[in-house]
A and B are shown apart, each in its own frame.
Chain A
Amino acid sequence: MNENWSFSDALGMNPQTKQQVVDTYFMEHRARLVDIAAYLDRVDRGQGDDPLDFRDVAFRRAVEILLDGQPQRARRVLELFSDHTSELPQSADGMKGAMGAVSLTDGGAA
């Protein structure tokens, strides 16, 4: 490990071959993928106008990350869903619980 090495330069070591990873996990993640597809269909079939909900916007942006061919997708999806603001409220009084995403126009977007 050279002295400039940082944990951000992930090691990437995996004892399995690519073929073994597919053999082991395809069925499990096939099911999860169909869940996501069905969820998006469910939003479409919902009544009323498009919600323009910040979570829905972030979700669809995250789906694009999955297919962009770049590494560290899990990390980048989590960063997309993260609060990047720097102000601190005085108290949590009256604040809602965590929502899982932030508005990409104010406070989001790494």
Chain B
Amino acid sequence: MKYIDPHIHMVSRTTDDYQRMAQAGCIAITEPAFWAGFDRSSAQGFYDYFRQLTEYEPKRAAQFGIQHFTWLCINPKEADDPGFAREVVSMIPDFLNSKEQLCGGNVLGIGEIGLNKNTKNELIILEEQIALAETFNQLVLVHTPHLEDKLKGTRLIMDALSASKIDPGRILIDHVEEHTVSEVLDRGFWAGMTLYPDTKVTPQRAADIIEMYGDERIWMNSAGDWGCSDPLAVPKARLEMRRRGHAPTTVDKVTFNNPQQFLSQSPNFLLT
């Protein structure tokens, strides 16, 4: 049994976590650029972070037979200052254009972009990063706001994406819950469920959502990071689905085949 965790922030996790994930069957992960828990003081801080994501982290993962892929962007929380955000965004094309990226680099697209507090400033930078993805023909991974801001934010984000020319089949909208998943799928996007203790979706609810909305264009991830999170959340959700009697093919579809299908739209996603 092998699986892909398509959203996890390994820079915040220990090497032991890679080992445990490998033991649980993880063969590939994708790591979106995100907020580090504090605001960086300069664009240079992001440059170093992007190097960590594209150079260092793949080597650490490889020690355990896990392939590491990544997404670059300025996250919505630090995108509220447009001047600063633009400085960071301007560095991204170099990472997309580098020789490694043109043949076998690990950048899959722009992400996780989105909204945090649903502000006009965040929306402007979101639109500019959608345009960047369009220009460079990149996949898009979307962060949706949490708690009371999720429903409104998810709709604003989908409207911004629909105004672009990017095929919704090349966009994954993450952190969906029961009140957002149907609109995301109805509009043709892919949907991601984040399994996170306390604040997001439990393995039980993820299995419920698959039962209610089907197993097409949907995946699940741990979004493990520096907060209380569980890097083994995906294998736990697999067990939950098996316990209910879901066919192994269905379990594999949502935890391996679906992520593989979506991510393979990037020429840089090649499983070895």
Contact = CB atoms under 8 A, between A and B. Distances in A.
Interface of A: 6-8, 10-16, 24-25, 72, 74-76, 78-79, 81-86, 88-93, 95, 98-102
B152 interface: yes
Contacts of B181: 7
A61 B132 CA distance: 43
A25 B203 CA distance: 13
Contact of B146 (A8, A15, A93, A98): A98
Contact of B211 (A7, A13, A76, A82): A13
A10 B212 contact: yes
Contacts of A79: 151, 179
A65 to B, nearest CB: 12
Contacts of B116: 92
Contacts of A7: 181-183, 185-186, 213-214
Contact of A14 (B118, B146, B211, B214): B211
B145 A98 contact: yes
B147 A24 contact: no
A-B pairs, 10 with minimum CB distance: A7-B182, A10-B212, A78-B179, A98-B147, A15-B245, A82-B151, A75-B178, A92-B117, A7-B185, A74-B178
B243 A24 contact: yes
Given A74-B205, A100-B148, 10 more contacts: A6-B182, A11-B211, A72-B178, A78-B151, A78-B179, A82-B148, A83-B148, A89-B117, A91-B119, A101-B148
A90 B214 CA distance: 38
Question: Chain B contact residues: over half helix, strand or loop, or mixed?
Answer: helix
A104 B185 CA distance: 28
A15 B246 CA distance: 7
A87 to B, nearest CB: 9
B165 interface: no
22 contacts: A7-B183, A7-B185, A8-B182, A8-B183, A11-B213, A13-B212, A14-B211, A15-B246, A16-B245, A25-B204, A74-B178, A74-B205, A82-B151, A82-B179, A88-B118, A88-B156, A89-B118, A89-B120, A91-B80, A92-B121, A98-B147, A98-B148
Contacts of A93: 80
Nearest to A81: B148
B87 interface: no
Contacts of B121: 90-92
B7 interface: no
Interface string B138-165: 0000000111111110001000000000
Interface string B205-224: 10010011110000000000
B225 interface: no
Given A74-B205, A75-B179, A78-B179, A90 B185 contact: no
Contacts of A102: 148
